Structure 1
């Protein structure tokens, strides 16, 4: 299938990215470099390779979602040993977050794009492919993410590495 590797996600503001980077630099010891800060996000729904027709359909569907803005508070980490992922996670999964993620995941599945075998587990990936969980000297100072929009991202590689580029944005409305 010719197309783009796409996913829906929530981006971070520069101050949140700087906060996470400072914490990683001063408080986390890992065996390899973190994922690129420019790519930090919370995935709502992975779509995989998507042709132009399916892309149009998911964009139309995403525009139809009605959800008010909400907040997520990040205060803890997690580690999945099966894929070596170390991540930040919100303190709880609220209804508003699920009200965006679940329909988007279902839309992608209905279009035959991707069926995620795992339940929705919101997180910000900080490391991939670690054989052991990083050592955390000091927990991250909690921060809040004000979610007022979400994006359709294109995952692609350029000369300087992997980029997750927002190609469409969808505002949440009260």
Structure 2
């Protein structure tokens, strides 16, 4: 099973799985940002349930249940495009009680991120994916099953994401919780 590949090995991945996989496109924080976010996770108090540090990411487009053929069509389209680089400042902590997430958020204001959002949505529609239910709200989920704020909220850090690549992730349910496994990546153009 091709689930634990390193990104360098993933770029030539054949989209050959049977059935469907739960997928999304996102970007990962840098190693230094990962350390900052890990420190923030350690400050979270009950009733929040922090996500696993290895699952920290910013989702650009949630695809949902996806066949290999549909995903390959999407990825081939994206490979032919100039995908713009972007920056986004995440510096506010928010509770979203509807989906039950506590997250570090920012504002969608960088022109590159807005253009990338349009390109990803258009390519997904052309590949037969349903349109997203929500507009892009840049955030990194810190905790799930969050319905109320903790009594003592930590001070939000300032995390300036400037990723060099976007990644196709498989959201895999395991007995030990969900894991986000990278399947393929494409460079962002500066």
Give the TM interval when normalised to the shorter protein.
0.7 to 0.9
Paired position in structure 1 for 2:139: 123
The 8 Å contact of residues 6 and 47 in structure 1, kept in 2 or not, is answered as yes
Distance 1:30 1:114, change over 3 A: farther
TM superposition shift of 1:124: 0.6
The answer as to 2:15 corresponding to 1:15 is no
The answer as to 2:48 corresponding to 1:32 is yes
| Greater share of residues in strand | 1
Q: Normalising to structure 1: TM-score of the pair? A: 0.87
TM superposition shift of 1:24: 3.0
The 8 Å contact of residues 72 and 145 in structure 1, kept in 2 or not, is answered as yes
The answer as to 2:163 corresponding to 1:147 is yes
More deviation in 146-155 or 88-97? 88-97
CA distance in 1: counterparts of 2:179 and 2:154, whole angstroms: 29
Q: Normalising to structure 2: TM-score of the pair? A: 0.81
The 8 Å contact of residues 48 and 150 in structure 2, kept in 1 or not, is answered as no
Q: How does 1:158-169 map to 2 (within 5 A)?
A: 158-169=174-185
Distance 1:32 1:75, change over 3 A: closer
Which SS does the other structure have where 1:31 is aligned? coil
The 8 Å contact of residues 30 and 133 in structure 1, kept in 2 or not, is answered as no
TM superposition shift of 1:136: 4.6
| RMSD over aligned Cα atoms | 2.1
Distance 1:57 1:153, change over 3 A: same
TM superposition shift of 1:93: 2.8
Q: How does 1:1-174 map to 2 (within 5 A)?
A: 2-26=19-43, 28-174=44-190
CA distance in 1: counterparts of 2:135 and 2:107, whole angstroms: 17
Note the residue ranges of structure 2 that are not aligned, 5 or more in a row: 1-17
